[in-house]
A and B are shown apart, each in its own frame.
Chain A
Amino acid sequence: MTAPKPRTIQVTVNGETITASVPDRKLLCDFLREDLSLTGTHVGCEHGVCGACTVLVEGRPARSCLMLAVQADGRAITTIEGVSGPDGSLHPVQRAFHEQHALQCGFCTPGFIISTIAYLEERDPSAGPVSEDEVREHLSGTLCRCTGYTNIVRAVCQAAAELSES
């Protein structure tokens, strides 16, 4: 077994460009959490099923446990820490999760919020208001053990309505 070789990468994380040296085998989630201290991205399964570690890579949702940090070289990443406004104001999705009691332990919450933002941004605005069924279809790839999802569906519907008005 040889010591893993580090490689230099340049990534833009939440708008800030960062140059770092990482071993080839380091997962993107570990790089974000350990090297950049962005611990809001949570690791729930390390095999791409639970969705807790979801971040945006070039605006699209990606499981950061299934990606190596070196694969993010030259790309822009958004984590939960980059979602609020510069003045600390909550994003409508964050606010909706709070107002609808869509989180209990809060561990899956960053992944859910990132996935919801991606879903609502990618959605065709001419498709009309979101339905509960549509939300369930789009977000069923993220797991929550606490809430039974009822209030998450409500929060996503609330945020969708608010974002479509603005």
Chain B
Amino acid sequence: MSKAEESADVAASVAEQPFIGQRLPRKEDRRFVIGKGRFTDDISVPGMLHAAFVRSPHAHARIRSIDTEAALKLPGVVAVITGRELAEFTSPFVCQQEGAAPMEMDALPVDKARFAGDPVACVVAVDRYVAEDGVDLVEVDWDALPPVLDMHHASDPGVPLVDEKIPSNLHTRETHRYGDIDGAFARADRVVKAEFRSQRLTHVPIETRSVVATWDEGREELTYYGAAQTAHILRTTLADRLGLSENQVRVVSPDVGGGFGLKLPLFREEFTVAAMAMRLKRPIKWVEDRLENLTASNHARDDAVSVEVAVLNDGTVLGVRANLWADFGAYAFYPPSYIINVIGWLLLGAYKIDNYEYTVNVAITNKCPAGTLRAPMAIVTWASDGMMHRVAEELGLDPFELRRKNMLSLDDQPYQSAPGYPYEALTLREGFDETLAKFDIDAFRREQADAAEKGRLIGVGIASVVEPTTYGSAWYKASGDDGSGHEAATVKLEPTGAINVTAGIVGTGQGYETSLAQVVADALGSSPANVDVRLGDTYIAPYGMGSRGSRGAAAGHGVAYLAAMDLREKVLGIGAHLLQRPAESLKIVNDEVVTRSDVGVSVPVREIARIAYNDPTSLPDGMLPGLEAHRTYDPPFMTFSNATHLCQVEVDAETGGVTIVKYRVHEDAGTLINPMIVDGQVHGGVSMGIGQVLLEETRYDEQGMNVSATLADYLMPTMDTVPMIEVEHLETPNPNTPQGIKGMAEGPVQGAVASVALAVQDAVARSGGRLEQLPFTPSRLLGVLRASRSG
């Protein structure tokens, strides 16, 4: 069977299942709409203390001494601890990156603060008000150093080292080459250059970071309640750094008020709180305030892409040479090259280009450390589509025709991208064509010309998104980073027929309690109402790799489906024994095992469950009691989804304000488990991309002070800046995953960054404006328009 036939086969079998593919309202909603969700800050433990942190007012400063005496005298303050004291009983985090210097991070800094907001001491008190009073009484004697704030000059002579244990502030410089790049440039009629630069952003989940840590003195066991996208990996790290055995630590991630890639690593504040709970033998809570969240959690997106494109005059792209830069901030919670490398291997986007070279440069600076914000590679689609528009512009060709000519279609697949990634069942050109069929670009160009006559600036942008979704363990091996992409699930049919499911993924708003119930209900012939899903508690859930990237669907739901299918086999085996029919002739429908042919011959699953637990001697010979299945699943090297985004904007020539007039998405995420939830993921991702292009920006002044430290300064998208987003689906199953699931969640950010940026560029192009630096704020747009008018 060909891959295309396999895809069609999967699609046909999915269509027969009652719940996969249904827009089922979410099971978890009720508790949230009545105010009975249980988030970390909602947890109170008797005797609980509260922590607050002393933070550096300098971007870069040596700690001469810390005087905690006055704080300790304040009634209600229980303890004050510094990095030096913590280092006596905790281990540092060491971030390894193949071919580069490892970077170490203490529980709290011992000798030096590396960014404004760096935590240097922790005050523990009877309530948070008193803890914050105590923070004001801690005296730190600082020796301020010159801050390193410009990634491009971080390793210039005379610039001090941010991390004195590594040889250079330029932590990573490496080049990757594919094909014959020199030959491509030698053959080119022309070389086109383009730049795409993003601003620094941050995650802003509405629930900030938070933790409650308790130490059970009797069992000698730490329980860590905290919003964590990867509960098990956090447990491993906690145990390791606290000198505990992994069976002495329980991590519970309760309801999480948004993650977006922030709530992944073990942060220093959380680690300090856990260490102090052990030391004081008292429960401790810490809830970050918004100032801390905006200045000292994780930042992202401080990166830049510059490309040179070797082309023939007919629009054929022969090769691309790219130089990528990232400002990684002061500490490494992740291997510094990891995120910028994703931009590197994805930069050719939807286009068939054989010869490619990219260089990554990562600088360590005196800014808040960088992390993984939903779609860490967010600017990549803007760069890949944007460079094709620049090529078209220089060659005087139609950009959409030029893109189409170089774009991958289903006929080209399976296809291996120049950096070696397998593209399969992606409808890039198909989605592009469908989008253009529904949007009359010629009519729009006429409207645009008419509008220009009247001084109005309108534009359209179309983005072709390639979204990497599920990273298999083979990918981790190839990348040189430690880790795995497998996932685990346990499905239990209880004696009454009720079904319990757990897995290693951890929800942060994705509706897993509903979508996992849908796939398990289909496998076991039950209904989602009969399936309960519990995630995020390492006592209950099997060891998995958590929720990051867009792995939840293919890895997390794929493995739950496979576990449920294993259990189905046992249920049918018992049914066959009871009904005296071959198992192959049976199926499960509405919680009853029935035969495919004979009406009226059936046995309820509940009766099978009763026998499995309470009457095991009636089971088939040799079959073990109970009804539970556990299994793991390792997805392919990499799976991808794709989408086409169309955005139409108007730029106000007087104010520089941008209004989004139309936003449309053609998404192809393969088999959809719950299209309603997928639509929601598209809406949220697009909103975040709009924020990146038009609004959000983390800013530092020349001393390295964060000057975007409130939500009045850091502008998130509001209800009146995001338009209604139209979503349509193509469903081309991936032939290599359970049920043909591909997953999605980050692509909508990529698509919005690209389509909004290209639309605004299209609107100002007629007046000669060139936009290379996000965000496109009113003042920046007015500047560009003025410059092009006067130039």
Q: Does B510 contact A (CB under 8 A)?
A: yes
Residue from B32, B75, B205, B677 whose CB has the most chain A CB atoms within 10 Å: B32
**CB within 8 Å of A: which of B674-692?**
676-677, 679-680, 682-688
A103 and B683 in contact, given A26-B129, A146-B258 (Cβ under 8 angstroms) = no
A3 and B75 in contact, given A132-B724, A140-B719 (Cβ under 8 angstroms) = yes
Stretch from A56-64, A69-77, A93-101 that touches the partner: A93-101
Q: Tell me the complex Cα distance, A90–B33, Å.
A: 8
Q: A150 — nearest CB in chain B belongs to which residue?
A: B683
User: Interface readout for B8-41 with A: 1 if CB under 8 Å, 0 if not?
Assistant: 0000000000000000011011111111111101
Q: Tell me the complex Cα distance, A25–B133, Å.
A: 12
Q: Does B432 contact A (CB under 8 A)?
A: no
Q: Across the interface, do A104 and B35 meet the contact criterion of CB distance under 8 Å?
A: no
Q: Across the interface, do A139 and B719 meet the contact criterion of CB distance under 8 Å?
A: yes
Residues on A with C-beta less than 8 A from B290 are 44-47, 50
Residues on B with C-beta less than 8 A from A136 are 719-720
What's the minimum C-beta distance from A110 to chain B, rounded to whole angstroms?
Answer: 5
Q: Across the interface, do A104 and B680 meet the contact criterion of CB distance under 8 Å?
A: yes
User: Interface readout for B705-737 with A: 1 if CB under 8 Å, 0 if not?
Assistant: 000001110001111101011000000000000
Inter-chain residue pair count (beta carbon < 8 A):
181
Q: Tell me the complex Cα distance, A81–B74, Å.
A: 37
Q: A96 — nearest CB in chain B belongs to which residue?
A: B33
What's the minimum C-beta distance from B36 to chain A, rounded to whole angstroms?
Answer: 7
Q: Does A152 contact B (CB under 8 A)?
A: yes
Residues on A with C-beta less than 8 A from B30 are 90, 98
Q: Does B189 contact A (CB under 8 A)?
A: no
A106 and B676 in contact, given A45-B290, A146-B258 (Cβ under 8 angstroms) = no
Q: Does B255 contact A (CB under 8 A)?
A: yes
Q: Does A1 contact B (CB under 8 A)?
A: yes
User: Interface readout for A148-160 with B: 1 if CB under 8 Å, 0 if not?
Assistant: 1111110000000
Q: Across the interface, do A94 and B207 meet the contact criterion of CB distance under 8 Å?
A: no
**CB within 8 Å of B: which of A111-160?**
113, 132, 135-137, 139-153
Residues on B with C-beta less than 8 A from A151 are 679-680, 683
Residues on B with C-beta less than 8 A from A44 are 206-208, 290
Q: Does B509 contact A (CB under 8 A)?
A: yes
What's the minimum C-beta distance from A147 to chain B, rounded to whole angstroms?
Answer: 6
Q: A137 — nearest CB in chain B belongs to which residue?
A: B720
Q: Across the interface, do B258 and A107 meet the contact criterion of CB distance under 8 Å?
A: yes
Residues on A with C-beta less than 8 A from B510 are 104
User: Interface readout for B685-701 with A: 1 if CB under 8 Å, 0 if not?
Assistant: 11110000000000000
**CB within 8 Å of A: which of B135-187?**
137
Residues on B with C-beta less than 8 A from A135 are 719
Q: Does A108 contact B (CB under 8 A)?
A: yes
Q: Tell me the complex Cα distance, A33–B205, Å.
A: 20
A101 and B25 in contact, given A81-B35, A151-B680 (Cβ under 8 angstroms) = yes
Q: Across the interface, do B205 and A145 meet the contact criterion of CB distance under 8 Å?
A: yes
Q: Tell me the complex Cα distance, A113–B25, Å.
A: 18
Q: Tell me the complex Cα distance, A69–B137, Å.
A: 26
Residues on B with C-beta less than 8 A from A142 are 719
Q: Tell me the complex Cα distance, A47–B291, Å.
A: 10
Q: Across the interface, do B207 and A105 meet the contact criterion of CB distance under 8 Å?
A: yes
Q: Tell me the complex Cα distance, A72–B577, Å.
A: 68
Q: A1 — nearest CB in chain B belongs to which residue?
A: B133
A104 and B710 in contact, given A26-B129, A81-B34, A94-B33 (Cβ under 8 angstroms) = no
Q: Does A11 contact B (CB under 8 A)?
A: no
Q: Tell me the complex Cα distance, A153–B37, Å.
A: 22
User: Interface readout for B177-213 with A: 1 if CB under 8 Å, 0 if not?
Assistant: 0000000000000000000000000011111100000
Q: Across the interface, do A150 and B710 meet the contact criterion of CB distance under 8 Å?
A: no
Main secondary structure of the interface of B (DSSP, over half): loop
Q: Does B256 contact A (CB under 8 A)?
A: yes
Chain A's interface size range is 35 or more
What's the minimum C-beta distance from B375 to chain A, rounded to whole angstroms?
Answer: 14
What's the minimum C-beta distance from A102 to chain B, rounded to whole angstroms?
Answer: 9
Q: Does B401 contact A (CB under 8 A)?
A: no
Q: Does B511 contact A (CB under 8 A)?
A: yes
Q: A49 — nearest CB in chain B belongs to which residue?
A: B711
**CB within 8 Å of A: which of B248-284?**
255-260
Q: A139 — nearest CB in chain B belongs to which residue?
A: B719
Q: B294 — nearest CB in chain A belongs to which residue?
A: A45
Q: Does B289 contact A (CB under 8 A)?
A: yes
Q: Does A52 contact B (CB under 8 A)?
A: yes
Q: Across the interface, do A97 and B42 meet the contact criterion of CB distance under 8 Å?
A: no
Q: Tell me the complex Cα distance, A144–B205, Å.
A: 8
Q: Which of A26, A40, A105, A149 contacts B36, CB < 8 Å?
A: A40
Q: A65 — nearest CB in chain B belongs to which residue?
A: B290
Residues on B with C-beta less than 8 A from A23 are 129
Q: Does B547 contact A (CB under 8 A)?
A: no
User: Interface readout for B428-460 with A: 1 if CB under 8 Å, 0 if not?
Assistant: 000000000000000000000000000000000
Q: Which of B35, B206, B683 contacts A105, CB < 8 Å?
A: B206
What's the minimum C-beta distance from B663 to chain A, rounded to whole angstroms?
Answer: 9
What's the minimum C-beta distance from B610 to chain A, rounded to whole angstroms?
Answer: 32
Q: Does B384 contact A (CB under 8 A)?
A: no
What's the minimum C-beta distance from B661 to chain A, rounded to whole angstroms?
Answer: 13
What's the minimum C-beta distance from A151 to chain B, rounded to whole angstroms?
Answer: 6
**CB within 8 Å of B: which of A14-66?**
23, 25-26, 33-34, 38-47, 49-50, 52
A113 and B684 in contact, given A3-B75, A23-B129, A145-B260 (Cβ under 8 angstroms) = no
Q: Does A164 contact B (CB under 8 A)?
A: no
8 A-B pairs with least C-beta separation = A40-B35, A107-B257, A106-B32, A105-B509, A148-B687, A80-B35, A148-B683, A104-B509
- Would you mind naming 16 contact pairs between A and B with Cβ atoms under 8 Å apart? A39-B39, A42-B41, A42-B257, A44-B206, A50-B206, A79-B35, A104-B509, A105-B206, A105-B258, A106-B37, A107-B258, A145-B203, A145-B684, A146-B258, A148-B688, A151-B680
* Contacts A43-B41, A52-B206, A107-B205 supplied; 5 other A-B pairs, CB < 8 Å: A33-B42, A39-B38, A104-B510, A106-B28, A107-B39
- Residue positions of B touching A, CB distance < 8 A: 25-26, 28-39, 41-42, 44, 74-76, 129, 133, 137, 203-208, 255-260, 287, 289-290, 508-511, 676-677, 679-680, 682-688, 710-712, 716-720, 722, 724-725
